[in-house]
Amino acid sequence: MIKVSDTAKKKVIELMTDDGFDTTTDYVRVGVKSGGCSGLSYDLTFDKTQQENDKVFEDNDVKIVVDKKSFLYLVGTTLEYSGGLNGKGFVFNNPNANRTCGCGESFSL
Protein backbone atom coordinates (compact mmCIF):
# COMPACT_ATOMS: atom_id res chain seq x y z
CA MET A 1 0.00 0.00 0.00
CA ILE A 2 1.16 3.52 -0.73
CA LYS A 3 -0.27 6.32 1.37
CA VAL A 4 -0.85 9.97 0.41
CA SER A 5 -0.60 12.77 2.96
CA ASP A 6 -3.16 15.58 3.04
CA THR A 7 -0.67 18.13 1.67
CA ALA A 8 0.32 15.78 -1.17
CA LYS A 9 -3.35 15.15 -1.97
CA LYS A 10 -4.03 18.87 -2.36
CA LYS A 11 -1.02 19.36 -4.64
CA VAL A 12 -1.78 16.24 -6.71
CA ILE A 13 -5.36 17.42 -7.31
CA GLU A 14 -4.15 20.88 -8.25
CA LEU A 15 -1.50 19.61 -10.69
CA MET A 16 -3.72 16.92 -12.25
CA THR A 17 -6.47 19.46 -12.86
CA ASP A 18 -3.99 21.96 -14.36
CA ASP A 19 -2.70 19.23 -16.71
CA GLY A 20 -6.18 18.18 -17.87
CA PHE A 21 -6.49 14.98 -15.85
CA ASP A 22 -9.66 13.93 -14.01
CA THR A 23 -8.84 13.17 -10.37
CA THR A 24 -11.87 10.87 -10.07
CA THR A 25 -10.84 8.54 -12.90
CA ASP A 26 -7.14 9.12 -13.69
CA TYR A 27 -4.10 7.92 -11.76
CA VAL A 28 -0.87 9.02 -10.19
CA ARG A 29 1.77 6.60 -11.49
CA VAL A 30 4.55 5.99 -8.99
CA GLY A 31 7.63 4.03 -9.97
CA VAL A 32 11.29 3.35 -9.36
CA LYS A 33 14.00 3.55 -11.99
CA SER A 34 17.77 3.18 -12.03
CA GLY A 35 19.69 6.38 -11.50
CA GLY A 36 20.19 9.15 -9.02
CA CYS A 37 23.06 9.63 -6.63
CA SER A 38 21.96 6.72 -4.41
CA GLY A 39 21.31 4.18 -7.17
CA LEU A 40 17.51 4.24 -7.57
CA SER A 41 15.24 7.22 -8.14
CA TYR A 42 11.53 7.82 -7.82
CA ASP A 43 9.33 8.48 -10.84
CA LEU A 44 6.02 10.30 -10.48
CA THR A 45 3.68 10.97 -13.42
CA PHE A 46 -0.03 11.17 -14.21
CA ASP A 47 -1.70 8.46 -16.28
CA LYS A 48 -5.15 7.85 -17.75
CA THR A 49 -4.77 4.07 -17.99
CA GLN A 50 -3.57 1.20 -15.90
CA GLN A 51 -1.39 -1.54 -17.34
CA GLU A 52 -1.94 -5.30 -17.01
CA ASN A 53 0.75 -5.76 -14.32
CA ASP A 54 -0.07 -2.66 -12.27
CA LYS A 55 -1.06 -2.69 -8.63
CA VAL A 56 -3.84 -0.17 -7.98
CA PHE A 57 -4.43 1.65 -4.70
CA GLU A 58 -6.57 4.49 -3.52
CA ASP A 59 -5.62 6.52 -0.47
CA ASN A 60 -6.96 9.90 0.62
CA ASP A 61 -9.07 10.07 -2.59
CA VAL A 62 -5.98 9.71 -4.82
CA LYS A 63 -5.83 6.76 -7.23
CA ILE A 64 -2.30 5.33 -7.50
CA VAL A 65 -0.87 2.79 -9.94
CA VAL A 66 2.48 1.08 -9.50
CA ASP A 67 4.12 -1.54 -11.70
CA LYS A 68 4.88 -4.83 -9.91
CA LYS A 69 8.66 -4.37 -9.95
CA SER A 70 8.49 -0.87 -8.44
CA PHE A 71 5.92 -2.00 -5.88
CA LEU A 72 8.53 -4.22 -4.19
CA TYR A 73 10.61 -1.10 -3.45
CA LEU A 74 7.67 1.10 -2.45
CA VAL A 75 5.60 -1.02 -0.03
CA GLY A 76 4.65 1.14 2.94
CA THR A 77 5.78 4.42 1.35
CA THR A 78 3.97 7.68 2.05
CA LEU A 79 3.85 10.37 -0.62
CA GLU A 80 4.20 13.78 1.00
CA TYR A 81 4.51 17.32 -0.28
CA SER A 82 6.79 19.98 1.17
CA GLY A 83 6.09 23.49 -0.07
CA GLY A 84 7.25 26.93 1.01
CA LEU A 85 10.61 28.63 0.71
CA ASN A 86 12.68 25.58 1.65
CA GLY A 87 10.24 23.01 0.29
CA LYS A 88 11.40 20.12 -1.85
CA GLY A 89 8.13 19.40 -3.65
CA PHE A 90 6.95 15.79 -3.57
CA VAL A 91 8.83 13.66 -1.04
CA PHE A 92 8.73 9.88 -0.69
CA ASN A 93 8.86 8.69 2.90
CA ASN A 94 10.06 5.16 2.15
CA PRO A 95 10.64 2.80 5.12
CA ASN A 96 12.46 0.34 2.82
CA ALA A 97 15.26 2.78 1.93
CA ASN A 98 18.51 2.14 3.79
CA ARG A 99 20.13 5.27 2.39
CA THR A 100 18.74 8.35 0.68
CA CYS A 101 20.46 11.26 -0.96
CA GLY A 102 20.32 14.79 0.40
CA CYS A 103 17.63 15.87 -2.06
CA GLY A 104 15.40 12.89 -1.22
CA GLU A 105 14.89 11.98 -4.86
CA SER A 106 16.98 8.81 -4.86
CA PHE A 107 17.61 5.91 -2.50
CA SER A 108 19.21 2.51 -2.10
CA LEU A 109 18.17 -0.66 -0.29
- Greater confidence, 83 or 55? 55
pLDDT of residue 88: 75
Q: In the predicted model, is pLDDT for residue 6 greater than 80? A: yes
The CA dihedral of 104, 74, 1, 51, to the nearest 10 degrees, is: 120
Looking at residue 72, its pLDDT comes to 87
Please say if the pLDDT value at position 35 is more than 80: no
Task: Report pLDDT for 5.
Answer: 96
Which residue did the predictor score with more confidence, 21 or 86?
A: 21
Q: Per CATH, is 3-102 categorized as 2.60.300.12?
A: yes
Is-above-0.85 flag for pTM?
Answer: no
Mean pLDDT of 7-23: 96
Output Rg (C-alpha) for the chain, integer angstroms.
13
Torsion of CA 57, 77, 38, 67, to 10 degrees: -20
